[in-house]
Amino acid sequence: MAMRKLLLLLKPFDIYPVWRSEGLSRLKTPLESQVLRYLENRLKVHKDAIKFCQDVLRDKPVEWEPIFRNDLSRPISDVDLIVTVGGDGTLLQASHFIDDSIPVIGVNSDPTQVDEVKEFSNEFDATRSTGYLCAATINNFEQVLDSIIEGRRVPSQLSRMLMRLNSKQLPTYGLNDILIAHPCPASVSRFSFKLKGNDQSFSRIVHCRSSGLRVSTAAGSTAAMLSAGGFPMPILSRDLQYLVREPISAETSSLLHGLVKSDQSMGLTWFCKEGVIYIDGSHVCYSVKNGDTVEVSSKAPILKVFLPDHLLQHTTGKGS
């Protein structure tokens, strides 16, 4: 793979909610001061990681330009590789702007420090950036980048989700998961769904009153899906996993959690006045209303991602 031009996609600085100097007088407790120092350190670590990656790129035989992820407004093209510096959120955002031709590698700019989490466990949550899909940190970025530029490392092909709303394809593919739910989390979501095979066969229809429906890819099966009671899937699986959130009635409990196989799609009809399809978090969403239909499948273009080595070592599980 000949690498001539790279895009450096950066997590913005305003993600870190630090107090400025004028807010220091409002700090009332030692814990507040401690949390402030922690957040300021996170910001510094992230900035240092960006500088480090830029310094490495200056010595490589490639053209590159940096851009903050919040400044993305149109599909990315005319680059041979995207390097994201942040965490999984930055890589997810990049995936919404690329097709199946441009590979991406994530650099976790601020990895969680085990000793730090242990030290502050009784005071506050000291976890840092999640980098499940990130193949590099500053400790190995140059080595991983060299292996890509020299063609010694190839990207993996991750499944993404394709969604159709009332038969019209949505412009965003889901890399992690989608949540279809009422916009108010305390309200009941009413919907029905069934699975459809390529041979036009249908599963039994399932009628739900719940907190919504989550559908994940294999890459997203270790995120919110796992927290909600799902199971991890092999990272390269083409299947999707679905889970009805907090069902009011469990009469069809065996049908409330399962797989949408690669040769199937899920068809859902929404029966509330309002609802929302959230794609890969809360930033990308589409409104639905009573009677709308949503189709979900893994027939989206794949995403080429350079994955951490340890993810590729585990390729067995309930998904296939």
CATH assignment of the domain containing 128: 3.40.50
Q: Can you give the pLDDT at residue 30?
A: 82
Query: Does residue 313 form part of some domain?
Result: no
Residues 6+ apart with CB under 8 A from 295: 163, 164, 167, 265, 266, 267, 268
Same domain, 114 and 240: no
Predicted confidence (pLDDT) per residue in 180-225, tens digit: 999 999 999 999 999 999 888 888 999 999 999 999 999 999 999 9
Same domain, 143 and 194: no
> Residue 27 pLDDT > 70, yes or no?
no
Q: Can you give the pLDDT at residue 251?
A: 62
Query: Does residue 319 form part of some domain?
Result: no
Q: Which of 103, 120, 154 is the last residue of a domain?
A: 154
Q: Can you give the pLDDT at residue 28?
A: 65
- In percent, the amount of the chain with pLDDT more than 70 equals 92
Query: Does residue 72 form part of some domain?
Result: yes
Could you tell me the CATH number of the domain that includes residue 278? Answer: 2.60.200.30
- In percent, the amount of the chain with pLDDT more than 90 equals 82
Scanning the chain, the segments in alpha helix (DSSP H) are: 30-58, 88-95, 114-119, 141-149, 224-227, 309-312
Q: What is the mean pLDDT of residues 57-64?
A: 95
Q: Can you give the pLDDT at residue 36?
A: 84
Q: Can you give the pLDDT at residue 317?
A: 44
Q: Which domain holds residue 40?
A: 5-154
Query: Does residue 320 form part of some domain?
Result: no
In the chain the beta strands, taken as DSSP E runs, fall at: 5-10, 63-68, 81-86, 104-108, 156-158, 162-165, 168-169, 177-181, 189-197, 206-210, 213-216, 240-244, 257-260, 264-270, 274-279, 284-289, 293-297, 303-306
DSSP 8-state secondary structure symbol assigned to residue 260: E
Predicted confidence (pLDDT) per residue in 219-271, tens digit: 999 999 999 999 999 999 999 999 999 999 766 678 899 999 999 999 999 99
Same domain, 16 and 117: yes
Instruction: Evaluate whether 163 touches 285 at the Cβ level (below 8 Å).
Output: no
Same domain, 122 and 17: yes
Query: Does residue 104 form part of some domain?
Result: yes
> Residue 290 pLDDT > 50, yes or no?
yes
Q: Which of 1-5, 249-253, 304-308 has the weakest average pLDDT?
A: 249-253
Q: Which of 154, 173, 201 is the last residue of a domain?
A: 154
Same domain, 233 and 121: no
Q: What confidence category does residue 23 fall into, taking pLDDT thresholds of 50, 70 and 90?
A: low
Query: Does residue 103 form part of some domain?
Result: yes
Q: Can you give the pLDDT at residue 198?
A: 85
Residue scoring higher pLDDT (99 or 27): 99
DSSP 8-state secondary structure symbol assigned to residue 128: -
Instruction: Report which of 219, 221, 238, 177 is spatially closest to residue 307, judged by C-alpha positions.
Output: 219
Number of domains within the chain: 2
Query: Does residue 170 form part of some domain?
Result: yes
Q: Which of 154, 179, 211 is the last residue of a domain?
A: 154
Q: What is the mean pLDDT of residues 265-280?
A: 98
Cross-strand partners of 276: 181, 287
Predicted confidence (pLDDT) per residue in 116-167, tens digit: 999 999 999 999 999 999 999 999 999 999 999 999 999 999 999 999 999 9
Residue scoring higher pLDDT (36 or 316): 36
Same domain, 194 and 71: no
> Residue 95 pLDDT > 50, yes or no?
yes
164 three-class SS = strand
Q: Can you give the pLDDT at residue 254?
A: 83
> Residue 19 pLDDT > 90, yes or no?
no
> Residue 33 pLDDT > 70, yes or no?
yes
Residues 6+ apart with CB under 8 A from 25: none
Query: Does residue 19 form part of some domain?
Result: yes
Same domain, 131 and 191: no
